[in-house]
Amino acid sequence: MSTPIRVLLADDQALIRGALAALLELEPDLQVVASVGTGDDAVAFAVELQPDVALLDVQMPGLDGLSATAAIRAQVPTCRVLIVTTFGRPGYLRRALEAGASGLLVKDASPDLLADAVRRVHSGLRVIDPELAAESMTVGASPLSGRERDVLLAARDGAPVSDIAQRLFLSEGTVRNHLSAAIGKTSAHTRAEAVRVADENGWL
């Protein structure tokens, strides 16, 4: 019998992590070698265990799944990464591929589809949720600059401009300019709406 495909799982929700591990372990050619709850642990275990495929959630504490993808691809180039997320946002797809992921699936995919995706990614193919791919083509790339994205992220909790300026080591005027630009680019009326629009499109 051929050597099983060694899989690392990372998801901050223990129930989902356990369910994914149980599903994959039912497949005779797949072996879950680690199951972790943060992006930082995903990178550390990938370096230590050298898995064939890493299944990463997007939203995790510490390093998020997209940052962890880039780190794993840089430090363990033989490990392919498949993003599995609850949030099918078109911006995530583009950013995942830019980070070096071999594919992206949403969590409501069938168990057979998930197992097959792991095999396809391991063999060097790309696996992309078809609806998300179509939506991504329609939405296009994020219109936000890196700094505008940083400012919107810092504005997520409703912090005043002075706090955002301190966090990002910018002047209050610069923060206002970036917020204004982000509001315009997202066709929003307020910064809260700009955060929501950017979030829904996976640009943050």
- Domains annotated for the chain, with CATH where assigned, are 5-138 (3.40.50.2300), 146-200 (1.10.10.10)
Model pLDDT, residue 203: 84
pLDDT digits (tens, 9 = 90+) for 102-149: 988 887 778 888 999 999 999 999 998 776 666 665 566 778 888 998
Kindly tell me the burial class for residue 174, based on how many C-beta atoms sit within 10 Å of its own C-beta (0-12, 13-18, 19 or more). Answer: middle
Task: State the pTM of this model.
Answer: 0.68
Model pLDDT, residue 172: 92
Structure tokens at 76: 């363990």
Model pLDDT, residue 26: 93
**Which of 6-10, 123-127, 136-140, 183-187 has the highest mean predicted lDDT (pLDDT)?**
6-10
Is 70 a residue whose pLDDT tops 90?
yes
pLDDT digits (tens, 9 = 90+) for 152-164: 989 999 899 999 9
| pLDDT band per the 50, 70, 90 thresholds, residue 99 | very high
pLDDT digits (tens, 9 = 90+) for 12-28: 999 999 999 999 999 99
| Average pLDDT of every residue of the chain | 89
Considering only residues 138 and 166, tell me which one the structure prediction assigns the higher pLDDT: 166
Q: Phi and psi for 67 in degrees, rounded to 5?
A: -65, -40
| pLDDT band per the 50, 70, 90 thresholds, residue 80 | very high
- Residue in 82, 202, 62, 179 with CA at minimum distance from that of residue 132: 202
Is 94 a residue whose pLDDT tops 90?
no
Q: For residues 140 and 151, is the Cβ–Cβ distance under 8 A? A: no
Q: Would you give the distance in Å from CA 143 to the centre of its chain?
A: 19
Tell me how far apart the alpha carbons of residues 120 and 52 are, in angstroms, rounded to a whole number. 12
